[in-house]
Structure 1
Amino acid sequence: MASVGTRNHNIGSIYSRVKKLISSGVMKAENRPLWYDIYEAFPPKREPVFIHGPTPDEHGLIKQADNVKPLLYKEDWARASVNKLYGDFEAVHHLIERPKEMNLSLSFIKVFTELQKAHPSLSNEEIFEKTEDIIGVTRR
């Protein structure tokens, strides 16, 4: 009936849409739904059409401000940098010895956070470079 991604169900009833499909030749009369003949023989008093529900303001509800703070962890900067620089971790995973359950991202974050605790005076960039040296990966 309606093509994928359209909102034709909002326009008219299912009966009017099927009737138009049959009259235009898109749907053959012998392929009509079982309910079609019953609907024509016993039409409803009021045509059932889609009506949008009321908005919250119509119910008297107050618009609430979204006061959810963005959630960032300390290691998010390092995780984003690793994703940006190395992309596919599993491509270099086999080159570095580490437990199989820990991929490059997890091991990088683990070493990065340990270095952050050990050297709080260093910047993120300096700790990132030291982590690269320890893990043994090079930038592309």
Structure 2
Amino acid sequence: MAGSRLETIGSVFSRTRDLMRAGVLKEKPLWFDIYKAFPPLREPVFRRPRLRYGKAKAAIQDIFYHEDRIRAKFFSVYGSGHKAFDLLNPNFKSTCQRFVEKYMELQDLGEADEEKLFTETGKALLAEGVVLRRVREARNVGVRPQASPEGKQPPEDAQEPKMDAPSP
């Protein structure tokens, strides 16, 4: 037969004090005198949590910034890209971050339509030399060899086949 659980009544200090008074504990615990000399501001007692009915509301709300929607659309259209993040360079900006900054810059100039602003941002980055490839295009087009750092072109068989125009 189980007895009543009295650990929820009172604090650890008050229960230990009562056990020493009743003679159950012969020696004081090491912490007892320190706790008695420096008691906490609020006595730590057990409190049963209140039951909640229905769906509990989220205590922390999600935080969404305007830039987050731009980033989400960027990644859905262009993917994560082929360039890795350079974490050793503190001034490194990813392609997505450059896109967001350019988007916000163009938005401050007065453009209101989001679709048009998105395409204009892509064109502006292309003018700066940042090539963005859409996800569907990247899947359909294979990876082509690029020129080596010395400036040499890849072998002829690796380049795209050239189509000769019919001569009249």
Calculate the TM-score normalised by the size of structure 2: 0.38
Query: Which is helix-richer, 1 or 2?
Result: 1
Q: Tell me which of the two structures has the higher relative contact order, counting C-alpha pairs closer than 8 angstroms and 6 or more residues apart.
A: 1
Normalization by structure 1: what TM-score? 0.45
